[in-house]
Amino acid sequence: MKAKIYLTYKEGILDPEGNAVKRALKSIGFNSVDTVQFGKYIEMTFTGVSKEEAEKLTDEACRKLLANPNTQSYRFEVAEQ
């Protein structure tokens, strides 16, 4: 099973990397860029578990380790590899 996890900043949390990239893009002529938001993308594979178990494990991994609940939101999809 393979989980694809997306971590993004919660609304109102400063995103310095996103702001820097937005400025850099504008400076090289990308004038139609409106917003840029940076987050993390994590691929995790499991062996010997069902889809339901992989979903439970992924959610638990996000809560216990991957996401900072104060500043980040997470979402994920689990599918056969």
**Out of 33, 51, 68, 69, which residue is the one contacting a copy of itself (CB under 8 A)?**
33
53 is a site residue for a copy of itself (CB under 8 A):
yes
CA distance 53 to 51: 5
CA distance 49 to 9: 30
Minimum distance from residue 46 beta carbon to a copy of itself (Å): 5
11 is a site residue for a copy of itself (CB under 8 A):
no
36 is a site residue for a copy of itself (CB under 8 A):
yes
CA distance 23 to 17: 10
**Out of 11, 14, 16, 41, which residue is the one contacting a copy of itself (CB under 8 A)?**
41
Q: Containing H/E element for 75?
A: strand 72-79
Q: Give 19's Cβ-side CA count (13 Å radius).
A: 5
23 is a site residue for a copy of itself (CB under 8 A):
no
Using CB under 8 A, count the residues that bind a copy of itself. Answer: 34
